């Protein structure tokens, strides 16, 4: 799985956006569809993030 900054992942009602991607850590923001203006910021290891988004759909626009 290839991760990059500003990538969006959707799993159920939650949307995860990668805010900052480092070698071993991922800063992401979790936004609920019912409250798109809010969201919570989290910092986890890459391994934990990959486990979190397992089965999620990448909804990022394709690069041109």
Residue range of the domain that includes 37: 8-58
pLDDT tens readout for residues 34-49: 777 778 999 999 999 9
CA nearest neighbour of 31 among 51, 4, 59 = 59
SS (H, E, C) 29-57: EEEECCCCCCCEEEEEEHHHHHHHCCCCE
On whether residue 31 sits in a domain, the answer given is: yes
| Structural domains counted in the chain | 1
Q: Which residues of the chain have pLDDT under 50?
A: none
On whether residue 40 sits in a domain, the answer given is: yes
State how far the Cα of 61 lies from the Cα of 32, in Å rounded to an integer.
19
Residue 48: predicted pLDDT: 97
Residue 63: predicted pLDDT: 65
List all residues 6 or more positions away from 61 whose beta carbon is below 8 Å from its beta carbon.
Answer: none
Residue 33: predicted pLDDT: 76
């Amino acid at each position: 799985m290839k991760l990059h900054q500003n990538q969006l992942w959707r799993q159920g009602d939650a949307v995860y956006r990668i805010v900052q991607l480092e070698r071993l850590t991922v800063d992401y923001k979790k936004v609920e569809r019912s409250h798109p203006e809010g969201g919570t910021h989290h910092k986890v290891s890459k391994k934990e993030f990959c486990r979190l988004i397992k089965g999620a759909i990448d909804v990022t626009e394709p690069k041109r």
